[in-house]
Chain A
Amino acid sequence: MDLLIVHLFIFVLAAFVGFEVISKVPPTLHTPLMSGANAISGITIVGALLVASHTGCVITCHLGFIAIIFATINVVGGFMVTDRMLEMFKKKGDE
């Protein structure tokens, strides 16, 4: 039970931090915010790595392998496309 309480503490505090930080993002950057956030949600790759490499695997490691592929697409694609978009936001005289 203790562990669940610790998790819930972290969950609720992270939600407040998220609301606080993200509500300051201007509408101009909402698309990069979404694709960047999307890349961050690829963090599930960390779980996929753990699940993919267990001994005596029957089903688990295959599920983990597919999860690694999907999560990596999300992470690599998400950060790259966000970078591509943000590169285009320039002031006059930049570059």
Chain B
Amino acid sequence: MNPLVPDFLSDFVPTLIHLSYLLASVLFILGLKRLSSPATARSGNRLAALGMLIGVAVTLFNREIISFQYIIAGILIGAVIGAVLARRVKMTSMPELVSMFNGFGGIASALVASGEYFRIAPAVFATQELTALAVSLLVGTMTFTGSLVAFAKLRGIIGGAPVVYPGYKVVNTLVFVAFLVFTSLFFLDPGNTGLYLVLAGIALLIGLLLVLPIGGADMPVVISLLNSLTGLAASATGFVLHNHLLIVSGTLVGAAGLILTLIMCKAMNRPLFNVLFGSFGGNGVDTGLPGTAGGKTVKEVTPSDLAIMAAYARRVVIVPGYGLAVAQAQHAVREVADMLEARKVDVRYGIHPVAGRMPGHMNVLLAEANVPYPQLFDMDDINKELPKSDLVLVIGANDVVNPDARLNTSSPIYGMPILNVDQAQNVVIFKRSLNTGYAGIDNQLFYADNSYLFFGDAKKSLELLQESLKGL
């Protein structure tokens, strides 16, 4: 019997626990709902945290819990590690942290399902429980190894380039078939713990093999998908344990991750299947190939000319890409924006969904640099405003502003939704050189009549612009 629960209450406690789980589920939904606006989002996150606290606290009164030493030790260790990671992480490294957490969530779910299996084995299981067990084991474990690979790619521990070898698709298919075969064998002999361990090993391998061939530039899709899978693993574990709170919460997370995955795929104009099995994309770093200028010339702009263009504009739109974060120029760009606003210029930021290394990453980096969130506009909203804008500053972005995506049916990025910066009065592109972007294709924007290039490191260029603005 649970030492926390006096005998006379033991009949009511199970009901109270289930009602508290219901309350926790409601708090999760309300918390996610409040994430729909930056003004309420913080309270939403806290509501969800309260739901989690309630869920954990009432579970301690479960009659099956009889000893607490493992629980206290585990929670203390986990809380310290989690708190340190959360406090120390740099905002630019957020994709790595989320990847790592995805992996931890996945493996925790797989371990819980496995614990339940070893508790009951070799007693008889119902088919439905076995199915849930196999799903939880597969999804949780592959999320773990897949996330570790994603983490290593984002960190640069292993190169971002797709790791492929001849016939890797055949190998991947065979491994997956092997999982299905061993699952069938396991269903026929559920008490066989050896078979269970083989299944776990294959699931570990699947995660590795699935993510290794995916290029670094596709990591925003991969992180979103792994996020979805960690939710589904928790949900499957709920089916194993017959726990409704796990099913509801896990499914909510699964839905969130899936929505983000689809948004990312749409923004890159590539079907999910193609991302997962196409091994497209390099390592996400500028390839250094020279643009095929073909006799076309670009116009350069000096800091002082740009300062005049910007200072006398009515509206300036800043289009940041991940190159801005690489150059650590978020603060420099916000200072330029402040100087322009002091001159009554309307300054807005237009942010493409794949700017950054995970969904919404660029917005967080700008918020960290104290850019007020009402100035952050997503693609659809800013595209309506661009024809009415006097000047666009493109900083560290390339493919997402390439008009070929809209105009040139033979371009590899044709059909990808872009920011239509070419429709503004003037465009200034901050660039190191005339290199191509991730997709390795030339950008017609650079040669347009209303385009000017500002060559150099983004941060230094912005500082030169600040100097010139001060001199006006």
Task: Give the docked Cα–Cα distance between A95 and B327 (Å).
Answer: 28
Task: Give the docked Cα–Cα distance between A70 and B44 (Å).
Answer: 24
Chain B residues closer than 8 Å to A40, beta-carbon distance? 28, 31-32, 48, 52, 231, 249, 252-253
Cβ of A59 to closest chain B Cβ, rounded Å = 4
Question: Are A28 and B60 interface neighbours, CB within 8 A?
Answer: no
Question: Are B101 and A73 interface neighbours, CB within 8 A?
Answer: yes
Question: Are A11 and B104 interface neighbours, CB within 8 A?
Answer: no
Q: Choose one: A26, A37, A64; the contact of B111 (CB below 8 Å).
A: A64
Q: Could you give, for residues 71-92 of chain A, a 1 whenever the CB lies within 8 Å of some chain B CB and a 0 otherwise?
A: 1111111111111111111111
Q: Could you give, for residues 49-63 of chain A, a 1 whenever the CB lies within 8 Å of some chain B CB and a 0 otherwise?
A: 111111100111101
Q: Does B146 contact A (CB under 8 A)?
A: no
Question: Are A89 and B241 interface neighbours, CB within 8 A?
Answer: no
Query: Would A68 and B74 be within 8 Å (CB), given that A80-B86, A81-B97 are in contact?
Result: yes
Chain A residues closer than 8 Å to B247, beta-carbon distance? 7, 10-11, 14
Question: Are B378 and A72 interface neighbours, CB within 8 A?
Answer: no
Question: Are B52 and A39 interface neighbours, CB within 8 A?
Answer: yes
Task: Give the docked Cα–Cα distance between A64 and B52 (Å).
Answer: 18
Cβ of A33 to closest chain B Cβ, rounded Å = 5
Cβ of A73 to closest chain B Cβ, rounded Å = 4
Question: Are B87 and A75 interface neighbours, CB within 8 A?
Answer: no
Q: Does B190 contact A (CB under 8 A)?
A: no
Residue with the highest number of chain B CB atoms closer than 10 Å, among A27, A44, A85: A44
Interface residues of A in 1-33 (CB under 8 A from B): 1, 3-4, 7, 10-11, 14-15, 17-19, 21-33
Question: Are A33 and B35 interface neighbours, CB within 8 A?
Answer: yes
Cβ of A15 to closest chain B Cβ, rounded Å = 5
Question: Which residue of chain B is the closest to A51 with respect to CB atoms?
Answer: B115
Chain B residues closer than 8 Å to A15, beta-carbon distance? 251, 254-255
Q: Choose one: A27, A54, A77; the contact of B81 (CB below 8 Å).
A: A77
Interface residues of B in 19-73 (CB under 8 A from A): 28-29, 31-33, 35-39, 41-42, 44-46, 48-49, 52, 55-56, 59-60, 62, 64-68, 70-71, 73
Chain A residues closer than 8 Å to B376, beta-carbon distance? 28
Chain A residues closer than 8 Å to B98, beta-carbon distance? 31, 34-35, 38
Q: Does B305 contact A (CB under 8 A)?
A: no
Main DSSP-derived SS at the A contact region: helix
Task: Give the docked Cα–Cα distance between A28 and B378 (Å).
Answer: 7
Question: Are A80 and B70 interface neighbours, CB within 8 A?
Answer: no
Cβ of B428 to closest chain A Cβ, rounded Å = 25
Cβ of B81 to closest chain A Cβ, rounded Å = 5
Task: Give the docked Cα–Cα distance between A61 and B35 (Å).
Answer: 36
Query: Would A72 and B36 be within 8 Å (CB), given that A28-B378, A46-B59 are in contact?
Result: no
Cβ of A72 to closest chain B Cβ, rounded Å = 3
Number of interface residues of A (CB under 8 A): 81
Task: Give the docked Cα–Cα distance between A53 and B60 (Å).
Answer: 10
Chain B residues closer than 8 Å to A88, beta-carbon distance? 364, 367-368, 370
Interface residues of B in 89-121 (CB under 8 A from A): 89, 91, 94, 97-98, 101-102, 104-105, 107-109, 111-116, 118-119
Question: Are A69 and B71 interface neighbours, CB within 8 A?
Answer: no
Question: Are A43 and B35 interface neighbours, CB within 8 A?
Answer: no
Chain B residues closer than 8 Å to A18, beta-carbon distance? 32, 251-256
Interface-lining segment among B351-359, B433-441, B442-450: B351-359
Question: Are B38 and A29 interface neighbours, CB within 8 A?
Answer: yes
Q: Choose one: B31, B46, B74, B252; the contact of A65 (CB below 8 Å).
A: B74
Question: Are A53 and B81 interface neighbours, CB within 8 A?
Answer: no
Residue with the highest number of chain A CB atoms closer than 10 Å, among B70, B85, B376: B70
Query: Would A28 and B82 be within 8 Å (CB), given that A18-B254, A38-B105, A63-B114 are in contact?
Result: no
Query: Would A49 and B59 be within 8 Å (CB), given that A74-B108, A91-B373 are in contact?
Result: yes
Question: Are A37 and B101 interface neighbours, CB within 8 A?
Answer: no
Given A36-B31, A43-B52, A49-B56; 19 other pairs, CB 8 A cutoff: A14-B255, A31-B98, A32-B45, A33-B359, A37-B257, A40-B252, A41-B230, A41-B233, A42-B105, A43-B55, A44-B233, A47-B112, A63-B114, A65-B70, A71-B105, A77-B81, A79-B45, A81-B86, A89-B38
Interchain Cβ contacts under 8 Å between A and B, 23 examples: A18-B252, A21-B33, A25-B35, A26-B36, A27-B363, A28-B363, A34-B359, A35-B94, A38-B253, A40-B249, A41-B109, A42-B52, A42-B105, A43-B245, A50-B241, A51-B115, A63-B118, A67-B108, A67-B112, A75-B78, A88-B364, A89-B373, A90-B373
- Which 9 A-B residue pairs are closest in the complex by CB-CB distance? A72-B78, A18-B255, A30-B360, A68-B74, A77-B82, A76-B82, A80-B86, A30-B359, A51-B115
